[in-house]
Amino acid sequence: MAGLFDRQAEAYANTRPTYPSEWYSKIAALTPNRTLAWDVGTGNGQAATGIAEHYEQVIATDVSKPQLNHAIQHPKVRYVHTPLSMSKDELASLVGGEGSVDLITVAEAVHWFDLPSFYSLVNHVLRKPGGVIVVWGYKTCTVDPDFDSVMERFRETTVPFFHPNNRYLSDFYCTLPFPFESIGVGSEGNPLMLDLPQEFSFDGLVKWLSTWSAVPVAKERGVDLLNEDVVKELERAWGASNLTRTVIHKAFMIAGKPRI
């Protein structure tokens, strides 16, 4: 899945939602130590910078160099490119080795990972006791019934072009394997459901849709999912091109600790 978000890295940085500060306060309260956090699949650092408000150091990693080129700079965040060729031992060493990490976060990315390999690494590097992994994602958005129905028709056109792993997002992480002990913030098969509001102009909405991984994949196959007719239909349902509206992303979160 490496490279899916390379070409739209700038649009991704400008349009993907940031996460509420309250999320990070609640996440930080889950770990007794706040020395080191690791944000995996950081993208442009939306989560890393929020986590950094609560931890002494954040290591933020991604397989995409273009995404990291647009990363939000923060004095306590160290961004590191981690190509797929990097071994598990190298990754473990990068974050300090066995039992070194207080918090691991994965925002809108864990569904792309080789889960057995990643979870093995998580169990290795998390502090015991006290280390916590938190993963979350979000799915599409709602505005009002008219717009939502148009949005759903657009979403259906994207389905054939998404990677099969996108099914985990489609079912709100309810089928995502998560072999960790629950600590009261969701659990395997039962994620915590959250609302994630975002203010969008219509132009911002279209740019956000362009960052969906299915859009460039479809274009490579000769299909323009955001063609002129589709954009006009979305604009009609939006109300006017100059309107700014609040959209609600449906978010879902699971936290856990290693089973000892």
Q: What is the mean pLDDT of residues 10-24?
A: 72
Mean pLDDT of the chain: 92
For residues 110 and 252, the answer to whether their CB atoms sit within 8 Å is no
pLDDT band at 9 (very low <50, low <70, confident <90, very high): very low
pLDDT band at 139 (very low <50, low <70, confident <90, very high): confident
**Is pLDDT above 50 for 257?**
yes
Q: What is the pLDDT of residue 5?
A: 47
Apex CA 176: angle with CA 167 and CA 115, to 5°? 100
Phi, psi of 137 (to 5 degrees): -150, 180
Please report, rounded to a whole number, the percentage of residues in the chain having pLDDT higher than 90: 86
**Is pLDDT above 90 for 83?**
yes
pLDDT in tens, 154-185: 999 999 999 898 999 999 999 999 999 999 99
pLDDT band at 15 (very low <50, low <70, confident <90, very high): low
Residue 113: how many other CB atoms lie within 10 Å: 18
Q: What is the pLDDT of residue 67?
A: 86
pLDDT in tens, 190-219: 999 999 999 999 999 999 999 898 999 999
Q: Which has more pLDDT, 218 or 7?
A: 218
For residues 135 and 105, the answer to whether their CB atoms sit within 8 Å is yes
What element of type H or E holds 81? strand 77-81
Query: Phi-psi bin for 125: left (phi > 0), alpha (psi -120 to 50), beta?
Result: alpha
pLDDT in tens, 211-246: 898 999 999 999 999 999 999 999 999 999 899 999
Phi, psi of 85 (to 5 degrees): -75, -10
For tokens 């969906």, the residue is 212
Domains and CATH numbers, the chain: 9-139+163-195+250-257 (3.40.50.150)
**Is pLDDT above 70 for 127?**
yes
Q: What is the pLDDT of residue 140?
A: 80
**Is pLDDT above 80 for 91?**
yes
Measured between alpha carbons, how far is 161 from 134 in angstroms, rounded to an integer?
Answer: 28
pLDDT band at 14 (very low <50, low <70, confident <90, very high): low
Q: What is the pLDDT of residue 200?
A: 92
**For the ranges 16-30, 116-130, 204-218, the one whose mean pLDDT is highest:** 116-130
**Is pLDDT above 50 for 12?**
no
Buried residues in 187-214 as b, exposed as e (16+ CB within 10 A): bbeebeebebebebebebbbbbbbbbbb
Q: Are strands 192-201 and 244-257 parallel, antiparallel or unpaired?
A: antiparallel
